């Protein structure tokens, strides 16, 4: 009676000086050899196809058990009965599996992400991959991208995010999915972009625009200015606090300021287009129209001159406490405000812009276009934008000096100037 292999015999098989075979039944055998880790055991099957001697690798023990190896042997023999070479069949299955994985949503999304991540800010890149890994991949990541449908797959992903109250995040997730599909269409992995047809207004509650908390009561503004003067933290943060209400800039534009942008002789701060919001991808011809000029009041110049001896040797006006090669943390001014007793509901770093905009507009003394231009609210019409850039510069210089003087009067507790003034 033929003696077949047992689980114990396979488990106890030892390596010898030379590789050897332990035969099972029907042509199946265990190939045993020495490896760097000790002993390697491999299931194999020798067969003949088209009069050629061939060997089918069935798998490695113990990943493939004896019983599984026998099942795969029977599969191979069925293929031979059908005139199919089991080794070629195995190669084709592997290729199909690899192709299938290469075209899953997760694989295509990762390909898109790696291709473009260097064109994004570090913060934006981290946000994208975080949303994909947390909110998208667990649900549709493993699906072949060409099988994903808007109603069946994408909308439930968006709604799942919205159900936790993260409406803005749901909109971002939809946008990232749409960008992945746009890339897939370009790469001919899919024919259509199913995310493009999704109308968010039909599945998400309306987006309520949130205004940044600010202070517009003149008495309370005066209190805030005195609190800033009395701030006893680092000089860098104190100067950032003092400059924030004077220049009407976004917090990021201020904290990433570079000394090379400041012209003390002309009292002008010229911020290049690449640093302004939504202006990273611009045509060379529009550089002048897209740069942002901030006329500096005497008070703003005093702040910069006070700080120059400390940080003027470095790139950034407000360098990070952790290293002078990078700018101040985005939370530095916010934390300083909290230290001074102001909550997020009182004022945020972005609220200094809203303070200036609201109060200057209420005064009725200044051209609204000049205020908008100083806020760097971009006009989509390039010709008009260039015109406004030149037309309102002197008015903006006068306006910012008036604003700085007004804040000083409020800080000193002077009689409050009525907001409504004649043109």
92 has a pLDDT exceeding 90: no
Q: In the Cβ-directed half-sphere of 30, how many Cα atoms lie within 13 Å?
A: 28
Residues 53 and 79 placed together within one structural domain of the fold? yes
* Domain annotation covers residue 421: no
User: Residue 186: its pLDDT value, please?
Assistant: 95
Residues 278 and 407 placed together within one structural domain of the fold? yes
Residues 179 and 267 placed together within one structural domain of the fold? no
Residues 193 and 224 placed together within one structural domain of the fold? no
User: Residue 21: its pLDDT value, please?
Assistant: 93
Q: Is the pTM of this model over 0.75?
A: no
Tens of pLDDT along 348-398?
A: 999 999 999 999 999 988 888 889 999 987 654 444 444 444 557 899 999
Residues 143 and 120 placed together within one structural domain of the fold? yes
Residues 163 and 67 placed together within one structural domain of the fold? no
Which residue among 62, 91, 120 closes a domain? Answer: 91
Rounded to whole angstroms, how far apart are CA atoms 103 and 325?
41
Rounded to whole angstroms, how far apart are CA atoms 92 and 88?
6
90 has a pLDDT exceeding 90: no
H or E element, residue 54: strand 52-61
* Domain annotation covers residue 303: yes
Nearest partner of 150 among 202, 113, 186, 101, judged by Cα: 202
Residues 309 and 196 placed together within one structural domain of the fold? no
Residues 87 and 142 placed together within one structural domain of the fold? no
| Domain CATH number, residue 365 | 1.10.443.10
Tens of pLDDT along 167-215?
A: 889 999 999 999 999 999 999 999 999 999 999 989 998 766 567 899 9
* Domain annotation covers residue 209: no
As to burial, measured by CB atoms within 10 angstroms (0-12 exposed, 13-18 middle, 19+ buried), residue 343 is exposed
- What domain range is 26 assigned to? 7-91
* Domain annotation covers residue 423: no
Residues 173 and 59 placed together within one structural domain of the fold? no
Averaged pLDDT for residues 36-55:
91
CB within 8 A of 17, min separation 6: which ones? 34
pLDDT bucket at 281, cuts 50 / 70 / 90 = very low
* Domain annotation covers residue 72: yes
| Domain CATH number, residue 64 | 3.30.160.390
* Domain annotation covers residue 156: yes
Averaged pLDDT for residues 293-300:
96
- Number of structural domains the chain divides into: 3
| Domain CATH number, residue 141 | 1.10.150.130
Residues 223 and 146 placed together within one structural domain of the fold? no
Q: Are 9 and 23 in contact (CB under 8 A)?
A: no
Mean pLDDT, the chain, integer: 87
**pLDDT: is 83 or 211 the higher one?**
83
Rounded to whole angstroms, how far apart are CA atoms 61 and 69?
9
Nearest partner of 255 among 325, 316, 310, judged by Cα: 316
Rounded to whole angstroms, how far apart are CA atoms 226 and 342?
13
Tens of pLDDT along 131-172?
A: 999 999 999 999 999 999 999 999 999 999 999 888 889 999
Catalytic positions, please?
A: 250, 277, 350, 353, 377, 387
User: Residue 165: its pLDDT value, please?
Assistant: 85
């Amino acid at each position: 009676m033929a003696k077949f292999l047992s689980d114990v015999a396979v488990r106890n098989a030892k390596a010898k000086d030379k590789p050897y075979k332990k035969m099972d039944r029907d042509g199946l055998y265990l190939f045993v050899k020495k490896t760097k880790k000790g002993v390697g055991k491999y299931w194999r099957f020798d067969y003949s196809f088209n009069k050629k001697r061939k060997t089918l690798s069935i798998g490695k023990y113990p990943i493939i058990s004896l019983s599984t190896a026998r099942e795969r042997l029977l599969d191979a023999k069925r293929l031979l009965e059908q005139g199919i070479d089991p080794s070629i069949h195995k190669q084709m299955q592997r290729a199909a599996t690899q192709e299938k994985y290469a075209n899953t949503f997760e694989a295509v999304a990762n390909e898109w992400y790696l291709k473009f991540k260097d064109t994004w800010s570090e913060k934006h890149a981290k946000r994208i991959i975080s949303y994909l890994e947390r909110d998208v991949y667990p649900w549709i990541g493993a699906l072949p991208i060409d099988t994903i449908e808007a109603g069946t797959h994408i909308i439930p992903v968006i709604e799942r995010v919205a159900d936790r109250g993260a409406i803005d995040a749901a909109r971002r997730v939809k946008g990232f999915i749409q960008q992945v599909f746009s890339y897939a269409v370009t790469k001919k992995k899919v024919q259509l972009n199913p995310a493009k047809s999704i109308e968010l207004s039909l599945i998400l509650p309306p987006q309520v625009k949130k205004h940044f908390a600010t202070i517009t009561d003149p008495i309370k503004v005066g209190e805030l200015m005195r609190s800033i003067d009395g701030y006893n933290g680092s000089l860098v943060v104190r100067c950032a606090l003092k400059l924030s209400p004077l220049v009407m800039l976004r917090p990021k534009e201020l904290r990433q300021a570079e000394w090379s942008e400041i012209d003390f002789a002309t009292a002008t701060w010229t911020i290049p287009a690449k640093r302004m919001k939504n202006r990273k991808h611009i045509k060379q011809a529009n550089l002048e129209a897209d740069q942002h000029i901030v006329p500096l009041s005497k008070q703003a110049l005093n702040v910069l001159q006070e700080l120059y001896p400390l940080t003027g040797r470095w790139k950034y006006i407000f360098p990070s406490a952790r290293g002078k090669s990078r700018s101040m943390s985005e939370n530095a001014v916010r934390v300083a405000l909290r230290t001074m007793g102001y909550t997020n509901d009182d004022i945020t770093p972005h609220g200094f812009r809203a303070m200036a905009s609201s109060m200057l507009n209420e005064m009725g003394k200044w051209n609204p276009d000049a205020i908008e231009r100083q806020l760097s609210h971009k006009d989509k019409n390039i010709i008009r934008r260039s015109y406004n850039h030149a037309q309102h510069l002197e008015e903006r210089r006068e306006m910012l000096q008036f604003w700085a003087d007004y804040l000083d009067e409020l800080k000193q507790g002077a009689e409050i100037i009525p907001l409504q003034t004649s043109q």
